[in-house]
Structure 1
Amino acid sequence: MKPSWLFRETLRRFVLPSGKLLLLALGLNTALSVVSTASIAIVEPVLRVLFGHAPAPAPAPPTDFLGRLKATLFETVAAWVFVPSPEATLLRLGGFVFGLFLLKNLLKYASALVGVQLEEGIVKRLRDALVQRLVRLSVDYFAQQRTGELMSVVTNDVAVLNSHLVGAPLTLVREGLQAVLFLGILVLLSWELTLVAVGASLISLVLIRTATRYLRRYGMRMQAAMANYTAILQELLSAIRVVKAFSAESRMADAFARETSSYVRSAVKHQRVLALLPGINELVAIGALILVLVIGGYWVFSGRMQPHELLTFLFCFFALMAPVTAVLHVISQLQRGLVAAERIFRILGQEPSVRSGHRPVAGFRHELRVERLCFAYRPGVPVLEDVSFVLRKGEKLAIVGASGSGKSTLLDLLIRFYDPTEGRILLDGIDIRELRLEEYRALFGIVPQDAPLFNDTVANNIRFGAPEASLEEVIRAARLANAHEFIMELPRGYETLIGDRGVLLSGGQRQRIAIARALVRNPAILLFDEATSSLDTESERLVQQAIDRALEGRSAIIVAHRLSTITGADHILVLDRGRIVEQGTHTELLARNGLYARLWSLQFADTPLPTTHGQLED
């Protein structure tokens, strides 16, 4: 992405929507620049009083434009400030200077308040836009990204963009205008000395152009290292039990330390270049100042220039260094901001691979049909091949098979987390790719193997898929899920906070909350993806009771590893290496003495049996 495009897009999409606040901030900063310049320029009449030059009109009025402009400007100020008594003039000047600095600080305070409202509003808009985009991207995008890196973009990169790019326009306006005003005063005082000073300072431009390449390179490394250590931290905290169980604390801490060391190295190199710029720029400016002092001093000695004019020139030229340094600093810092902007817009430019259709969903009336379905995560490595079946309304369909046979992938396709590479899925004769995605997914209630819960109350976790559900509806769903009794034993019942990912609950309790969450939205089709596979015997019994109760009068697709839980299914599909190798009822499949019968025997018999394809799941 080109830096100019990134800068324009940031302004257009995130800065310009705060148009009124931006105009107010620009106005206040413009006024602040004018008053700041005036607070330095006021030194000219002070020096004139001290050097004894009365505001009498010049004996030979200047004929050139700049000379006439200078005479008009300074004589207007002098006529307002000067009185016959030098002492009274100094007092009046003192009052004027105090008023200028009072106004300057009031403007600085107001511009700071408006500036923080503007910048924080832009940061909020950026983060909201990123999250809005992320939640609408398809599941395959997240499968290819590290969660910590995405978190780093939303937090760290947005903060860097704000401090190095978003605030740049205001700083450039304020300091740039101030520099232009000071430059104008210098030209009025002596365009020849101004030309000498500016010419001597051109070396700074060459320096900046060379430095920006290195600043951008090191800025990219800093942002990448920041994303890496954020990702490691996220993985470490989310899997802290695994880390401790395998005594991997030191290994994970060392990995984090390596990334922070990489960040420090890049930051030091970045700062090495960045810190060099102000020093060299100041030396160049001092060199120009000395050159002006020498040339101007000769002109004072020869009568070509008045002493107070040379001192005013030197004051203003010295004051010019601060805004010029600020502008140069902003330009050098822009490189890191552009790197952050590039990472942000890379996410904002992503499009979901699974797109919503436009046809409304009329509900689940007759059947969900799968026709010759094929799918591969990577080209040439099929996960599902030529899968066809029908789920009729009111039926319970079970899917069994060895690990890696494609059971969970098939569920992901049914709820359109992915689209098939070949074949199609039809809801009452309509290809689901033509249907509105949100309405289609609302037909399903999903209970995964490891049901993620949120750090919220029990009630809010249950009503997550149906925010409008009343407490009565929540309790009804909890009763169906066999969860009401243990919920009422919690310290605050349904208002109890359950901790990050539900860590304050047992595995069986979490699964029953997940079943209640699926039921509260009254889904047309329930999907159970090995909902009891990781539970102990007692928890499995309670969860299985909840599942049996939930299935009454509903359509359902059940992926199971324990075959005893699906013996009552209307139809069972047996998957092996991505293909349906058998299908029928439990009795029919046992009678065929095929793969299903061998899987059944492995679970319920002590005698050795022939090995099947794949490795069975625990």
Structure 2
Amino acid sequence: MADRNDPIDPSRSAGAGYIAQVEQDKGKRERSRSLAPLAKMWPFVRRYPGRLLGFLIFLVLSSVFTLSLPGVLKAIIDCGFSDTVPGYCTRLPVDTSAGVDGYFKLVMGFALLFSVFGALRFYFITTLGQRVVADLRRAVFDRLTILSPQYFERVRTGEVLSRLTTDTTLVETVVTGSISFALRSIATIIGSVTLMFVVSWQLGLLVVAVGGVIVGIVIVVTPIIRRLSRDGQDRLAEASGRAGEAIGSIQTVQAYTRERLERDMFGAAIERTYAVQAKRIGVQSWLTAVLFAIGMAGIAGILWYGARQVMAGTMSGGDIGAFTVYAILSVSSLSSLTETWTNLLRAAGASERLIDILDESPTIIGEDQPNPAGRVAFENVNFAYPTRPDAPALHEVSFSVEPGETIALVGPSGAGKTTVFQLLLRFYDAQDGIVRVGGDNVRRLDPESLRAQIAIVQQGAPLFSGTAFDNIAYGRDGASREDVIAAAKSAYAHDFIDALPDGYETDIGERGATLSGGQKQRIAIARAILRDAPILLLDEATSALDSESERAVQLAFETLRQGRTTLVIAHRLATVLKADRIIVLDQGRVADTGTHTELVERGGLYARLAELQFNTLAS
């Protein structure tokens, strides 16, 4: 059995689909116009000065050794193979009595140090990048959990999750690789070009000219390839979306005998994907051929000119060898740097979007601690949702609920029942009027402390992936196994949980997919029972239950509501007959208040609802 102190697994999505979506989104991310937004990542980097310093030290050492490689090649050619040995050969730390073997031992030592420095550079930058991105992801998620619902009305949930996954992955790619590669490439280019001109300024000019042509062609063609690649991703996403819809509704597809239609539509989408990808491959193949031809021609020209200089005695064979390696290093680094620059710009855009979240502040704030008395009151409350300011959800709503009292909120859909719960939980604040809990204005209360006084059973019983135990224990930190089982028994959930393959340790699947609607509802009720809060909110808490389960849960509620302030939202009026009072809401206003008998005798909206439901049940 898992340790109950372990945190609940936060994973909510299938791994393969998650990775595929991230890779698809990465290619579609907008690039920033400059690298300035990357500077906003500095606060996360400077937390780890040791790793940053280690990276910089070994970056310098590996770059120096890279630039020293042509010099080693020059020494081998000039000192090991030439009949006329230059004077500098005598100053090398080589045992000349072993002939050429001594120089290759020098190469082996050089290669060993180069490998160690390169590995350490990779280790420091990779661990630094992983640490920075881990901190960034935690900071972004931490901020998201405290933002008010108004933020999620402005920004789609899918976009928020994309920022948390795709954008942080882009930053990770840059911090762990692109920045290191860019710095190393820049150092290599500067060092190689400088040393090329030291060896031969004529050959240096030739390499710069060839490199300029190559870079110019890459700059012109790369946007075409990127556009075709994005088009291909779009076509693939279209095909995948169509396939997902068809497979997800396969019974409907087969019931309407539309298999052939779906196959034809998917096949057409795949062919469109192939056509775009084939075009992209054609452009890339052309670019590869042109660049290879120019590069080879340039190398041949360099070698031809160098050979003539050697024959004229103005250069040595080692100079030509060293110069050729310098040229290859500079041109290859410059070509690769263009793609690295694109990645850096895309990551800069991702950084900007992430910082937007970190700069967002919650609008629901407060410092006071709530009075646990449990009294609830609405005083002339007016409220409209931020996205619908011209459509009031509540208008001059006033009522009070004494500790231990149970009231029911009834009325047609859109009457404002759920809005009452939203304001009580302080997901929103009323524009006018006062909402009180324990006599305190909720605007002055700390939202987390306020919500700790409330237990809620929501319509639809939202559950998390994990075990039945985890989902019930979610109601209270540190709950023991005995507490969880007692809550399950009170919710009449123990018997069916105990009958599951692994009992309370059975994985119930994503959103409780392996359970029936009634079973999920009872687990949600057990979670609320375990919370043991002075205020209880029931939002259609028995809507998904069959008649037998509903009767069982109603008995549990009779015990649960004792000593608690309870507010019940119900469309099924049979569930609220025993409420101390019933508040009838209509179009955001309190239309009537009383017991079931009083409201029926007075007529009006409640009487019409009661007559409709009970006559229907009787028939």
TM-score range, shorter chain: 0.7 to 0.9
C-alpha contact 1:399 1:557 (8 A) present in aligned 2: yes
Alpha-carbon distance, 1:186 to partner? 1.6
Report the TM-score, using the length of structure 2 for normalisation: 0.81
- Structure 1 window deviating more from structure 2 (377-386 vs 342-351): it is 342-351
More moved, 29-38 vs 144-153? 144-153
Mapping 1:225-374, distance limit 5 Å: 285-352=295-362, 354-364=363-373, 366-374=375-383
How many angstroms apart in 2 are the aligned matches of 1:166 and 1:272?
A: 32
Determine the structure 1 residue equivalent to 2:86. 55
| Corresponding residue for residue 460 of structure 1 | 470
Does the 8 Å CA contact 2:206/2:302 hold for their aligned counterparts?
yes
Match of 2:92 among 80, 83, 86: 80
Alignment correspondent of 1:9: 40
Kept in 2, the 8 Å contact 1:39–1:101? The answer is no
Deviation at 1:215, TM superposition (A): 7.6
Q: Is this contact kept in 1: 2:76–2:103, CA < 8 A?
A: yes
| 2:407–2:567 Cα contact (<8 Å) kept | yes
Q: Does the Cα contact within 8 Å between 2:380 and 2:432 map onto a contact in 1?
A: no
Q: 1:602 to 1:522 in 2, by over 3 A?
A: same
Taking the aligned partners of 1:172 and 1:263, their CA distance within structure 2 comes to 33
**In structure 2, C-alpha distance between the alignment counterparts of 1:507 and 1:514, rounded to whole Å:** 11
CA distance in structure 2 between the aligned counterparts of 1:15 and 1:268, rounded to whole angstroms? 42
CA distance in 2, matches of 1:256, 1:342: 37
Matches within 5 A, 1:304-453: 304-352=314-362, 354-364=363-373, 366-376=375-385, 377-453=387-463
AA partner of residue 68 (structure 2): A
Quick check: 1:175 aligned with 2:185? yes
Shift of 1:402: 1.0
Higher mean alpha-carbon deviation, 556-565 vs 127-136, is at: 127-136
Match of 1:549 in 2: 559
CA 588–296 in structure 1, closer or farther in 2 if over 3 Å, else same: same
The answer (yes or no) to whether the contact 1:459–1:494 under 8 Å persists in 2 is yes
- 1:31 maps to which of 40, 57, 61: 61
Deviation of 1:306 after TM superposition, in Å, equals 3.6
Matched, 1:129 2:139: yes
Deviation larger for 384-393 or 139-148: 139-148
Secondary structure at the residue paired with 1:381? Answer: coil
Q: CA deviation at 1:602?
A: 0.6
1:596 paired residue number: 606
Q: Is residue 578 of structure 1 aligned with residue 588 of structure 2?
A: yes
Rate the CA distance shift 1:359–1:27 in 2: closer, same or farther, 3 A: same
State yes or no: 1:20 paired with 2:50.
Answer: yes
Q: CA deviation at 1:307?
A: 4.3
The 3 A distance-change label for structure 1 pair 367 and 410 is: closer
How big is the shift at 1:555?
0.5
Letter in 1 for 2:91: A
Tell me the SS of whatever aligns to 2:590.
strand
Q: Deviations over 1:171-228 (max 9, x none)?
A: 1233332333333332321234323422443345545655676688778878989999
The alpha-carbon distance between structure 1 residues 157 and 462, as it changes in their structure 2 partners (threshold 3 A), is same
Q: 1:315 to 1:567 in 2, by over 3 A?
A: closer
| Deviation digits for residues 242-271 of structure 1 (CA, Å, limit 9, x no counterpart) | 978997997999999999999988888888
SS at match of 1:363: coil
The answer as to whether partners of 1:148 and 1:227 remain within 8 angstroms in 2 is no
**Structure 2 CA distance for partners of 1:435 and 1:168, relative to 1, 3 Å:** same
- Identify if the C-alpha distance between structure 1 residues 30 and 278 changes in structure 2 by more than 3 Å, giving closer, same or farther: farther
Seq. identity, %: 33
> Aligned equivalents of 2:265 and 2:393: distance in 1?
34
> Structure 1 counterpart of 2:34, which letter?
P
The CA deviation at 1:561 is 0.9
Secondary structure, counterpart of 1:385 in structure 2? strand
Per the alignment, in what secondary structure is the counterpart of residue 582 of structure 1? Answer: strand
Aligned-partner Cα distance in 2 for 1:252–1:579: 49
3-state secondary structure, aligned to 2:340: helix
Question: Corresponding residue for 2:74?
Answer: 44
Residue 224 to residue 104, structure 1, CA distance change in 2 (3 Å): same
- DSSP-derived class of the 2:207 partner: helix
> Which whole-Å deviations, capped at 9, do the CAs of 1:304-324 have from their partners, x for residues lacking one?
334442343223323433333
Please identify, of 117-126 and 403-412, the stretch whose mean Cα deviation from structure 2 is larger.
Answer: 117-126
- The residue that corresponds to 1:159 in the other structure is 169
Deviation at residue 51 of structure 1 after TM alignment: 3.1
- Letter aligned with residue 45 of structure 1: A
> In the alignment, is the contact (CA less than 8 A) between 2:214 and 2:335 conserved in 1?
no
Residues 417, 98 of structure 1: CA spacing in aligned structure 2 closer, same or farther, 3 A cutoff?
same
The corresponding residue for 1:519 is: 529
C-alpha distance in structure 2 between counterparts of 1:153 and 1:267, whole Å: 27
**Is the alpha carbon distance of 1:190 and 1:155 closer, same or farther for their aligned partners in structure 2, counting shifts above 3 Å?**
same
User: 1:441, CA displacement in angstroms?
Assistant: 0.8
Contact 1:81 1:92 in 2 (8 A): no
1:479-510 Cα distance to aligned partner (Å, 9 max, x none): 33233343333344433332322233332222
Q: For residue 40 of structure 1, report the CA deviation from its aligned partner.
A: 2.9
CA contact (8 A) 1:396 1:557 kept: yes
Judge conservation of contact 1:385–1:579 (CA < 8 Å) in 2: yes
CA distance in 2, matches of 1:451, 1:309: 77
Instruction: Classify the secondary structure of the residue corresponding to 1:42.
Output: helix
Tell me the residue number matched to 1:186.
Answer: 196
Alpha-carbon distance change, 309 to 494 in structure 1, aligned in 2, over 3 angstroms: closer
Distance apart, 1:475 and its partner CA: 2.9
Residues 95-127 of structure 1, C-alpha deviation per residue, up to 9 Å, x if partnerless? Answer: 111221222233334444444433333332333
Q: Matched residue of 1:465: which SS?
A: coil
1:325–1:205 distance in 2 versus 1, CA, 3 Å: closer
1:86-101 pair list within 5 angstroms: 88-101=98-111
Give yes or no for contact 1:465–1:517 (8 Å, CA) kept in 2. Answer: yes
CA shift at 1:400, angstroms? 0.3
**Alpha-carbon offset, residue 230 of structure 1:** 9.6
Gaps of 5+ in 2: 1-31
CA 1:361–1:591 in structure 2 vs 1: closer, same or farther (change >3 Å)?
A: same
* CA distance in structure 2 between the partners assigned to 1:151 and 1:257 by the alignment: 31
- Secondary structure of the corresponding residue to residue 465 of structure 2: coil
Change (3 A) 1:405 1:160: same
Using structure 1 for the length normalisation, give the TM-score: 0.81
Amino acid at match of 2:190: V
CA RMSD of aligned residues (A): 3.9
The 1:214/1:13 distance shift into structure 2, 3 A limit, reads farther
Q: Could you tell me which residue of structure 2 aligns to residue 612 of structure 1?
A: none
**Aligned residue number for residue 65 of structure 1:** none
Query: CA contact under 8 A between 1:282 and 1:321: conserved in structure 2?
Result: no
Whole-angstrom CA distance in 2 between matches of 1:253 and 1:120:
43
Give how far 1:355 is off. 2.1
Q: Aligned to 1:552, what secondary structure does the other structure show? A: coil
Between stretches 223-232 and 360-369, larger displacement belongs to: 223-232
* Partner amino acid, structure 2, of 1:107: F
Secondary structure class of the residue paired with 1:355: coil
Alpha-carbon distance in structure 2 between the residues aligned to 1:570 and 1:269: 73
| One-letter amino acid matched to 2:588 | G
Does 2:510 correspond to 1:481?
Answer: no
Deviation of 1:32 (Å): 2.2
